[in-house]
Every structure is written in C-alpha cells, then in structure tokens.
C-alpha cells in the first residue's frame, strides 16, 4: 500500500502548540504529513514565510515523517501538485466551524477528490490562536506553554 500522506495547511504566523498537537496526532493516522505554509502578503505578518518554515522545522525536531513546504495560490492546486488528496485541519470551537465548513466545501467544489478531515483541538489548546499569540507577545504578555520553545525565543527576540 502506498504511504498515506495528508496536507496540513495554514498560515502558522507563528506556529503554536495547538498546531504541533494536530501534527503529532495526525501522524497517528497518516504515514506522513506535508505542512503547507501559505505565502500570504498579509499586512500584519509577524514572521516571514521563510522564518515560519524554519520555526516549524525547528519545533518538529527533524521528524522525517513531516515535510514543511510553502505554497501560494489555490490549496487544491498545491495538493494536486503534491499528489495528495486529504487536507487535515484542526477545529477549535463553534466559531471556527462556519469558515472551515465553507473552505472544505469550496475546496471539494474545486476538486471533488479533495477530502478535508477535521481533528478537534485538545482541551489545552482550544483557546490558542496565532493571532492572539502575536498580540499578547507584542504587548509583553507571557506566551510560554502556548508555543514551542524555539518560537518563544523568536518572539522574545522580535519584541525585546
Ligand atoms: O491558518 P489559516 O490562516 O487558518 O489557514 C488558511 C489556509 C491557508 C488553509 C487558507 O487560507 C487557504 O487554503 N488559502 C489558499 C487559497 C485557497 O485555496 N482558497 C480557496 C479555499 S477557500
């Protein structure tokens, strides 16, 4: 049987322990994951795409089952390019649902082979979002325990 690989896409600005938890749990269901970092020209970008890739790689401790790549444009196009048809997403709360539901259906409309699989975020992580981590760190709040050690250090450096 060929290895089962899923795509785990996101902005990851910055990667959080919530993301890592989904990756670790995803690896129990898949042989490998491609973490796909969106190259978005967002105005409030904290880390560049290259920095996010490095932060993810650092946090993943060179786990060979996980590849970290970047993509731009449509996710379904990138999935086709990579020969992957399962997209993995974490779902935190009801508030995530509508956006995720629309995105999963839009992606399936664009490519009927694409299946989105949701994992409920663990109870320790359901309130963590990259946006809040960014804001709290920017304002001098303590985000230890919410992000991997290398991300914590990068945040401290950025806002010192
Ligand atoms: O971490 P995020 O910001 O919630 O991730 C969102 C992401 C990157 C998965 C989503 O914005 C995306 O796939 N963008 C690529 C553009 C695309 O394919 N859009 C159509 C689907 S709605």
CATH of the domain at 68: 3.40.50.620
Span 73-132, pLDDT tens digits: 999 999 999 999 999 999 998 889 999 999 999 999 999 999 999 999 988 998 999 999
97 in any annotated domain:
yes
117 in any annotated domain:
yes
Question: CB atoms < 10 A from the CB of 79, how many?
Answer: 24
Question: How far apart are alpha carbons 19 and 27 in whole angstroms?
Answer: 12
Q: How close is the Cα of 75 to the center of ligand 1, in Å? A: 7
Q: CA dist 110 to 76, 88, 115, 148, Å?
A: 7, 17, 11, 35
Q: Please answer whether residues 119 and 25 qualify as being in contact, where contact means their C-beta atoms are separated by less than 8 angstroms.
A: yes
Q: Supply the pLDDT for residue 6.
A: 98
115 in any annotated domain:
yes
Span 50-79, pLDDT tens digits: 999 999 999 998 889 999 999 999 999 999
Ligand 1 residue neighbourhood (C-beta within 6 Å): 9-11, 38, 74-75, 103, 106-107
Structure tokens at 110: 């664009």
For the cut 80, the answer to whether the pLDDT of residue 41 exceeds it is no
**Whose alpha carbon is nearest atom 12 of ligand 1?**
75
Question: How far apart are alpha carbons 89 and 75 in whole angstroms?
Answer: 13
pTM: 0.96
For 33, the 3-state DSSP assignment is strand
81 in any annotated domain:
yes
Q: What is the mean pLDDT of the chain?
A: 95
**Whose alpha carbon is nearest atom 13 of ligand 1?**
75
Structural domain of 79? 5-155
Longest C-alpha distance within the chain, in Å?
Answer: 50
Q: How close is the Cα of 109 to the center of ligand 1, in Å? A: 15
Question: How far apart are alpha carbons 26 and 122 in whole angstroms?
Answer: 13
**Which of 6, 7, 8, 9 has the most ligand 1 atoms within 8 A of CB, as the residue to mutate?**
9
160 in any annotated domain:
no
72 in any annotated domain:
yes
137 in any annotated domain:
yes
Domains in the chain: how many in total? Answer: 1
Q: Supply the pLDDT for residue 2.
A: 81
Structure tokens at 21: 């938890």
Residues catalogued as catalytic? 19, 43, 92, 130
């Amino acid at each position: 049987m060929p290895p089962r690989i899923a795509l785990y896409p996101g902005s990851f600005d910055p990667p959080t322990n919530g993301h890592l938890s989904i990756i670790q749990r995803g690896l129990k269901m898949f042989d490998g994951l491609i973490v796909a970092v969106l190259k978005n020209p967002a105005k409030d970008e904290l880390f560049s795409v290259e920095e996010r890739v490095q932060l993810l790689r650092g946090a993943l401790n060179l786990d060979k089952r996980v590849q970290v790549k970047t993509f731009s444009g449509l996710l379904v196009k990138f999935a086709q390019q990579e020969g992957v048809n399962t997209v993995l997403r974490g779902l935190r709360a009801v508030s995530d649902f509508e956006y995720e539901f629309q995105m999963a259906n839009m992606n399936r409309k664009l490519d009927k082979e694409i299946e989105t699989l949701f994992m409920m975020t663990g109870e320790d992580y359901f309130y963590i979002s990259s946006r809040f981590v960014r804001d709290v760190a920017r304002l001098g709040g303590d985000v230890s325990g919410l992000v991997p050690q290398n991300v914590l250090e990068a945040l401290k450096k950025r806002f010192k």
